[in-house]
Homo-oligomer: A and B are copies of this chain.
Amino acid sequence: MTTDGNHIKLEELFKKSNVKLGDSVMIETNNATHVGILIPRHEYADANHLVLKLKSGYNIGIKIGKIKSIKKITEKVDPNIKPDTNYKYKDYFSHENTDQNFSQSQLPNLSLLSTGGTISSKIDYRTGGVMAALTAKELNDSIPELARIANIDPEVVLSEYSENIKPEHWSLIARKVANNILSGKYDGIIVSHGTDTMHYTSAALSFALQNLPIPIVLVGAQRSSDRPSSDASLNLIGACTFATRSRFSGVFVAMHYSISDEVIACHIGTRVRKNHTSRRDAFHSIDVYPFSLIKKDHIEISRQYTDLKFQERNKNLESMVVRPNFESKVSLLKFYPGFDCRMIDYCVDLGHKAIILEGTGLGHINKECFSQIENAVNKGIIIFMTSQCIWGRTGLTVYDTGRDLLNLGVIPLSNMTSETALVKAMWCFGNFTEEKEVIKTMTSNIANEFTNRIIVD
């Protein structure tokens, strides 16, 4: 916090009005009345404003000089919000019995690891753009609701926009998560992350950390947390609710389920994709329903989970598998009409160990590239096939050209997404040396990257 005159003015104003951060208040200015919760400003924010979180979820800044009065409505937030039992999701979700009321002393413990991204960024008022700046602590302080869900230990692991995240960062994050799990102190781990590549990182953690005793929930925001329309608060609240109250472990991504500020979807780490550049509900589960939907304290779990590979929360720290290594020498090539087949040769020249071909339709590529594929396979490069369609699974036995690709040694990856396939191949080569073992692992279901049934909306 700054210590200039304006800041002192705000403290005095609070003292005089007998209010504090977290209180619900009514503020009268010269020309309006606002009702909301007083929340902290970010470290570098304009010191002439206080920040009020409206009931709509939007934050507004009110110029201190314009304030005529502040009246307290209620002290802080009621810690016992009852789930709305009338709320019904589609019938493929069943209600989890999680209506526990924790007292402050019994609150579960969460580790909040910050890696950067919009969720921990702020507007640069000089340029109007967004810069990575906020720490996990500042974020935690800004959302007073979190304090009634869990005791949260924030830590900064990285401070990167997620387009700059690389496989070595996945290793770093995986090791940090594993250490915090092994400390035995936590009931869940939250990883705040930029949304651009959050689905790549969630896949990476799904392979690097197996047999998890507690849930790991990645969370991001599409609008920075000091913007009025920020989705950061609700996403974090949803992530923390799931991480403390779900009976399942595993790696998940928690983001808005719809554009309204009501329901958070918790997606399976290997089956999620960022499908919109800017909407708050940008993340979609691919070929499955979201694993869970969260509204306030109310958790619904997809009935589909019985088809999937999930284990319940447990105390077996020693059975956790930690394999945090990744090998970057894997390429993902998206095929298209006019694709220069020499791109395949170039990946061979670069010494890459595998190529994920993102083919068309059921997993096809122009027959003119067959000789380059053959050459790569002969040189020991493993070629996997996924589909740029995103939904559905590869099918190389349907058409004669697909069967030709199988004969060349191309390995189809069914309904694994291209992004998950890339990450899994990088993980396989980071942990296994035998080609046979890589192929066996790539085609086995490790973390729900394959699903038997395909269900889409």
Contact = CB atoms under 8 A, between A and B. Distances in A.
Interface of A: 124, 127-131, 161-167, 169-170, 194-197, 200-201, 274-279, 282, 326, 328, 330-340, 342-343, 346, 350, 352, 358-368, 387, 389-395, 397-403, 419, 422-423, 426, 456
Given A124-B400, A195-B361, A361-B274, A342 B350 contact: yes
A128 B395 CA distance: 13
A333 B124 CA distance: 31
Contacts of A131: 399-400
Contacts of A331: 340, 343
Given A390-B275, A400-B127, A340 B336 contact: no
Given A200-B337, A336-B332, A366-B163, A392 B127 contact: no
Contacts of A162: 360-361
B399 A130 contact: yes
Contact of A391 (B275, B340, B358): B275
Contacts of A361: 162-163, 194-196, 274, 277
Nearest to A342: B350
A155 to B, nearest CB: 22
Contacts of A397: 128-129
B338 A392 contact: no
A129 B399 contact: yes
Given A129-B398, A336-B200, A337-B197, A277 B419 contact: no
A311 B118 CA distance: 42
Contacts of A390: 275-276, 390
A390 B361 CA distance: 16
Closest 6 A/B residue pairs (Cβ):
A277-B392, A163-B364, A196-B360, A196-B361, A328-B338, A276-B391
A326 B338 CA distance: 10
Given A197-B336, A200-B336, A277-B395, 19 more contacts: A129-B398, A129-B400, A161-B364, A162-B361, A163-B360, A163-B361, A163-B365, A163-B367, A201-B337, A274-B360, A277-B361, A277-B389, A277-B392, A279-B456, A282-B392, A330-B338, A331-B340, A333-B334, A340-B350
Contacts of A161: 364, 399, 401
A278 B387 CA distance: 11
A170 B338 CA distance: 11
A339 to B, nearest CB: 8
B197 A277 contact: no
Nearest to A128: B397
Contacts of A392: 276-279, 282
Nearest to A165: B337
A24 to B, nearest CB: 32
A397 to B, nearest CB: 7
9 contacts: A129-B402, A163-B360, A167-B337, A277-B391, A328-B340, A338-B422, A340-B352, A342-B350, A343-B343
A387 B277 contact: yes
Given A196-B361, A364-B161, A419 B278 contact: no
Nearest to A167: B338
A342 to B, nearest CB: 7
Contacts of A340: 328, 331, 350, 352
Contacts of A333: 334
Given A130-B398, A167-B338, A400-B127, A277 B362 contact: yes
Contact of A166 (B196, B338, B346): B338
Contact of A332 (B170, B275, B334, B456): B334
Contact of A163 (B124, B276, B359): B359
Contacts of A422: 336, 338
Contacts of A389: 274-277, 282
A165 B122 CA distance: 47
A169 to B, nearest CB: 8
Contacts of A401: 161, 163-164
Nearest to A391: B276
A140 B282 CA distance: 43
Contacts of A124: 400
